[in-house]
Amino acid sequence: MAREKGGFWVGFAAAVFYPSTAVMARRRTEGGERLPRKGGALVVMNHVSHLDPVYDAVFTHEQGRVPHFLAKHGLWNVPVLGSVLKGARQIPVYRGTSDAQQSLRAAHDALEQGLVVIIYPEGTITRDPDGWPMGSRTGVARLALEHDVPVLPVARWGTRDVYDHYRRKFRPLPRKTVVTKVGEPVDLSAHRARPQNLALLREVTDLLMGEVKDLLAEIREEPAPDGFYSAKKS
C-alpha cells in the first residue's frame, strides 16, 4: 500500500508510537478501508483518554495517511513533543483568545490541501462517567459544511481502560484491546444547500456526533444513551 509521505518527524513519531501502543494494548480496526487513500478528509472522533491521539495517529498511519490533529496550543511548549507537533504540521488550538479563529483557519487550509484532519468536537476528554460523548463544539460543523471532502465518523474504545485521567489510573497490564470503528461518510449535501446559521451548525454537530455515538455503541455492544452528556451535571 502506498503511504502518504510525512517527513522526518512523522517517521520519528511512528517509530515511537507503534511499539508503545502495541505494548499497552492490542489494536483492532474495523472499516479502515473507508478512509480515503488520497485527498482531504475530516475524521470526527470521540475522546475518552489522553492516550487517544497516540492510538488514533497509529490507526490513521496504518491506513497510509498522515494525521493532522487539532490540539491544545500548550502542547507546543512541551520539550520534544512540541518539536514533533510542529514538524508533523499539527494544528494548535487557541481557545478563548484572539487566535481562536486562526486555529479553525489552519484546519480549513489543511483540508483544502488534501490532508486528513482529525477533530475531537467535545474539546476535551469526556466527563461522562460511562464514557459516552459530551455535548460538542460547532467548529466541526463549519469544517464539514465548507469543504466537499468525506466526513467520516469514527469511534474508538479501550484507551480509558489503559489510562483513566479522572480516576488517575494507569493500567497497561493485563494488556487491553483498543478498537477503532470507521463509519460510512456522512452525506451532508442537503445541509450544505441551507443558509449557515447557529441552528444549522448545532444540528450538523449533533448529527455527526450521533453517528460517532452509534458506532461506539456497536463496539461496546450496548445501547447508547439519548442525547449527549452535559458537564454541567457534574
CATH number for the region 8-168+177-222 comes to: 3.40.1130.10
Contacts of 197 (CB under 8 A, 6+ apart): none
Cα separation, 146 vs 177, in Å, equals 36
What's residue 223's pLDDT?
A: 97
Q: What is the pLDDT of residues 67-106, one digit of tens each?
A: 999 877 776 777 667 777 777 788 887 765 555 566 678 8
Residue 232 has pLDDT above 80, yes or no: no
Q: What is the pLDDT of residues 22-44, one digit of tens each?
A: 999 999 999 999 999 999 999 99
What average pLDDT does this structure show over 142-169? 96
- Inter-residue contact 6 to 66 (CB < 8 Å): yes
What is the value of pTM for the model shown? 0.92
In the chain, the percentage of residues whose pLDDT exceeds 70 is 92
Q: What is the pLDDT of residues 193-230, one digit of tens each?
A: 999 999 999 999 999 999 999 999 999 999 999 999 99
In the chain, the percentage of residues whose pLDDT exceeds 90 is 76
Would you state the cell numbers that stand for residue 63, as one nine-digit string? 491506513
Per-residue exposure over 148-176, b if at least 16 CB sit within 10 Å of its own CB, e if not: ebbbbbbbbbbbbbbbbeeeeeeeeeeee
User: What confidence tier does 231 reach under pLDDT thresholds 50, 70, 90?
Assistant: confident
Residue 165 has pLDDT above 90, yes or no: yes
